[in-house]
Structure 1
């Protein structure tokens, strides 16, 4: 089996960097009706998918979940049409606070290198970053649970995307 070699950094378009930055800097004031004692209002995950593609998934406490691709494409608005996306996203964001203890403060929002996912926890007290290895054999049990949770949101988004494509082909 051939080994896929990752560049040190995945190339990213200007449009991707702009939309990713907007997601990472979204104000908690946009979510005051959803915030209770939990100060976590969003989780943004950067995932290298291949040597030339990185995907960012932005999830928020209101159930919104969007995908941004390093080539400048995106998939957004699915939460407005698909309750499964909202349910999975809310469950993920509301449960993600338990992983904050593994994260470190994020003074900057770097893109990950190679086969590492960066999980950014957005809280009213600032942003925190957790680096998660993409291969489960290198993860601790808590990281595995976190990855399973955000993969469920990704699965709902993929399902929504396929439904949208089918509807557009009619």
Structure 2
């Protein structure tokens, strides 16, 4: 990592919104790009909590670069994503300003309307993870019951 980029990883769970978004971009977008280079035949991506959700946006953008429509790309990406939620309280599920995501490039070339459909505005990382995944789970049976009630409105 270049010295000028070390601010991204200096502090885990940084309270500064730009730093959090940059960390999640590194994990999600960077993770998908690294997997494409190292293991081009990866067929399943597991997003463990919302932190890696930008990887799903990267998968969609990649399919769109290959000529797919947004709807086709989203459908195809969903077939490769599973999502685990860990935090059954609203305060523990991150949201980011859609404007900040666009400004920082977290949307992987998707436009505001597409990002809004996936994560809302503000962009809710857990809701996005649920909408991006073909299957979602929780870390325990009781937690799963709580999460299903908490996220019942997410399609």
TM-score greater than 0.5 by the shorter chain: no
TM norm structure 1: 0.28
